[in-house]
Amino acid sequence: MGLLSGKTALVTGAARGIGKALALRFAEEGANIAFTDLVIDENGEATRQEIEAKGVKCLAYASNAADFAETEEIVKKIHADFGQIDILVNNAGITKDGLMLRMSEAQWDAVINVNLKSAFNFIHACLPIMMRQRGGSIINMSSVVGVHGNAGQANYSASKAGMIALAKSVAQEMGSRGVRANSIAPGFIETAMTHQLPEDVRKDWMQKIPLRRGGQAEDVANVAVFLASDLSSYVTGQVIQVDGGMNM
């Protein structure tokens, strides 16, 4: 029996990257998986099949997470398809970096809507279900820049900081109903995006990390399993930094 056997997890933005790693790890622990992405293309279908091969039920849903009404309908459909939603991971996110002086309103709005408003949308839609079930675990995928800020990422940092405060507020509101809410703040994680960075930038990053290496998506997924499972039944309103000690 896996740590998440009998549970259903909803992971947003999970067709690739960290979201995909989370979904696969949850499936290995026995959770049925519903995941969303803006478009479910060949890569999304391949992800769905890879998750399903773990021996669990997996369905993929095309969804604009930043759209409130669309999110309400998608969550209703997922609940109808699975009968329950025990775990929600708000992972959908984008970056549109730029210095504050040069940042456009469109850059700001896009990142806040996709990263932060989407978390509000899905929490708002899932809370009534979790309240009726008298339990649930909400995990907001934040970032170390949401804790410490980062030059050139005012919009992204603000959205990720907002996700932390959102989780803390939900934790306070919903604790008596058995619903927990926490955040994960990854640091330098080895992904397709970070592999595109110049080598000197990568080396500079590594020198700032006490463990002297970048993290793997699986490192984040393992912490997510802990927060999603009953192992963390007395943990709520917390932020766990998965950053190799980069920001102590």
What does 162-221 look like in DSSP terms, one character per residue?
HHHHHHHHHHHHHGGGTEEEEEEEE-SB--HHHHTS-HHHHHHHHHT-TT-S-B-HHHHH
Please indicate, yes or no, if residue 126 is contained in any of the structural domains.
yes
Which segments within the chain are labelled E, that is strand? 8-12, 32-37, 58-62, 87-90, 136-141, 179-186, 239-242
Give the model's confidence band at 114: pLDDT under 50 very low, under 70 low, under 90 confident, else very high.
Answer: very high
| Banded model confidence at residue 196, pLDDT cuts 50, 70, 90 | confident
Let me know if residue 2 belongs to a domain: no
Range of the domain at 227: 8-241
Mean pLDDT of 31-60: 97
Q: Output the pTM of the full model.
A: 0.96
Say yes or no to pLDDT of 224 above 80: yes
158-166 mean pLDDT = 98
The reply to whether 248 falls in a domain is: no
Query: How would residue 193 be classed by pLDDT, with cut points 50, 70 and 90?
Result: low
User: Is 247 a domain residue?
Assistant: no
Provide the 3-class DSSP secondary structure of residue 135. coil
Residue 93 counted as domain residue: yes
Structural domains of the chain, count:
1
Collect all residues with Cβ–Cβ distance below 8 Å to 223 and sequence separation of at least 6. 184, 240, 242
Q: Is residue 106 part of a domain?
A: yes
Do the domain assignments include residue 1?
no
Lowest mean pLDDT among 122-126, 169-173, 244-248: 244-248
Whether 42 is in a domain gets the answer yes
The predicted-structure confidence for 89-105, as pLDDT tens digits, reads as follows 999 999 999 999 999 99
pLDDT attached to residue 45:
96
Separation CA 133–CA 84 (nearest Å) = 8
CATH code, domain carrying 233? 3.40.50.720
Write down the mean pLDDT value for the chain: 95
Given the residues 35, 108, 156, 188, select the one marked as catalytic.
156
156 is catalytic: yes
pLDDT (0 to 100) of residue 146: 97
